[in-house]
């Protein structure tokens, strides 16, 4: 009897132990799995050059933050600040460099005064479209050069959005010939702005939120922002009479995610991988968004009576010649830009040759 009681008690004990083990396994499976950072969480600020939730660029920045938050299961939380909420629109790079914010989202040519080579990673007049720029950055050595250029400022760049081909902009005076650029006051950044200056115009740079009023009041005669999708959102069609194409000054603009290098180095490897994946996702998704929405917005603008015109061939030919001089001069004026442009131009020449013998024919025949 005593032996049977001992065995029975032992059996109950074993069953209880097994049951406890099963419950513990189920509880562990139900909990979020912790990554290489030992479960540490990070709360980061991301400053941007855009109005809050602005179509395309602003929404893209918010999408990046949402993706990172979701993929990291809350271990890396990114709070997005619109232009002016924490720092002015054109001071994003400085804020990230100083560590005021861990991240930033903007356009590289906004800080060309501090980093002259930055504009070569953004937009070139009569230069690469989005597909060609992405090919150079991610398969042609461009990203390595970009990181090298930004490293002295303590900033790690990543491509994080693209516009595709833009428009030439909104004008309150007709452009019938080269002389019509004389005295023209226009909001247009980057190397395209330098071309306008050489054509006799005056560049007036300002963030998105100030463009409509400046155009409406006559503080500027013309502006380009991005394209129909964003231009319609800003109401530019209510402040200018003529809408010109094509976007010679910006066949594409690549936007960047800036990360403070010291902050970046505190992240475990899995969170770094999540950030990179989210940036690549937004880089592609934003281009899809612009391609779809630009078409829709242009249809709506035409339906509202907007006069869309093509710049005359004489004007485009002159702009192209001046642009070549401006780009070469900008590259020659800065050692880092010289290195970037030499490598970039060689790679783009190969891409252009392929496009010329293949893609161009398809567009022409299809059209």
CATH code (residue 278): 3.40.190.170
d(CA 91, CA 233): 23
334-339, Cβ contacts within 8 angstroms, sequence gap of 24 or more: 334/116, 334/117, 336/115, 336/116, 336/117, 336/148, 336/149, 337/116, 337/117, 337/120, 339/117, 339/145
Cis peptide, bond prior to residue 164, ω within 30 of zero? no
For 125-135, what is the mean pLDDT? Answer: 98
Which pLDDT score is estimated for 26? 37
Report if residue 201 sits inside a domain: no
Report if residue 181 sits inside a domain: no
d(CA 48, CA 256): 10
Report if residue 271 sits inside a domain: yes
Report if residue 172 sits inside a domain: no
Report if residue 84 sits inside a domain: yes
- The tally of domains found in the chain comes to 1
pLDDT tens column, 195-232: 999 999 999 989 898 999 999 999 999 999 999 999 99
d(CA 226, CA 206): 14
pLDDT tens column, 140-199: 999 999 999 999 999 999 999 999 999 999 999 999 999 999 999 999 999 999 999 999
Report if residue 177 sits inside a domain: no
CA distances from 289 to 160, 161, 248, 292 (A): 13, 10, 21, 5
Report if residue 202 sits inside a domain: no
Residue 91's domain comprises 42-164+252-291
Q: Is 6 exposed, middle or buried (0-12, 13-18, 19+ CB in 10 A)?
A: exposed
Which pLDDT score is estimated for 30? 31
Query: CA nearest 352: which of 131, 145, 119?
Result: 131
Report if residue 215 sits inside a domain: no
| Pick from 8-17, 100-109, 149-158, 345-354: least confident | 8-17
d(CA 295, CA 305): 16
d(CA 155, CA 258): 6
The torsion angle over the Cα atoms of residues 261, 264, 265 and 268, rounded to 10 degrees, is -170
Share of the chain above pLDDT 90, in %: 88
For 72-95, what is the mean pLDDT? Answer: 97
């Amino acid at each position: 009897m005593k032996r049977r009681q001992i065995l029975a008690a032992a059996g109950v004990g074993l069953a209880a132990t097994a049951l406890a083990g099963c419950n513990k396994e189920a509880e562990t499976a139900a909990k979020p799995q912790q990554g290489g950072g030992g479960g540490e969480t990070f709360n980061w600020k991301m400053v941007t050059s855009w109005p809050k939730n602005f179509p395309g660029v602003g929404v893209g920045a918010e999408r990046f933050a949402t993706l990172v938050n979701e993929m990291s299961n809350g271990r890396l939380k990114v709070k997005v600040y619109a232009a002016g909420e924490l720092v002015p629109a054109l001071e994003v790079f400085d804020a990230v460099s100083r560590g005021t914010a861990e991240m930033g989202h903007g356009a590289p040519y906004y800080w060309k005064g501090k980093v002259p080579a930055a504009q070569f990673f953004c937009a070139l007049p009569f230069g690469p479209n989005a597909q060609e720029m992405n090919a150079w950055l991610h398969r042609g050595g461009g990203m390595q050069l970009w990181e090298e250029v930004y490293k002295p400022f303590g900033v790690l760049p990543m491509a994080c959005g693209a516009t595709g081909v833009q428009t030439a902009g909104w004008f309150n005076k007709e452009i019938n010939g080269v002389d019509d650029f004389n005295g023209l006051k226009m909001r247009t950044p980057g190397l395209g702005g330098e071309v306008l200056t050489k054509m006799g115009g005056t560049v007036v740079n300002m963030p998105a939120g100030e463009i409509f009023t400046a155009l409406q009041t006559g503080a500027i005669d013309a502006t380009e922002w991005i394209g129909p999708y964003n231009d319609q959102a800003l109401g530019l069609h209510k402040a200018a009479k003529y809408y010109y194409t094509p976007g010679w000054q910006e066949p594409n603009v690549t936007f960047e995610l800036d990360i403070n290098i010291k902050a970046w180095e505190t992240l475990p490897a899995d969170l770094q991988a999540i950030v990179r994946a989210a940036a690549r996702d937004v880089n592609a998704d934003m281009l899809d968004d612009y391609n779809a929405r630009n078409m829709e917005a242009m249809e709506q603008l035409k339906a509202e009576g907007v006069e869309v015109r093509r710049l005359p061939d004489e004007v485009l030919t002159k702009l192209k010649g001046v642009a070549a001089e401006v780009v070469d001069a900008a590259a020659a004026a800065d050692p880092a830009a010289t290195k970037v442009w030499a490598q970039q131009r060689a790679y783009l020449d190969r891409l252009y040759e392929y496009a010329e013998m293949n893609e161009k024919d398809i567009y022409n025949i299809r059209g």
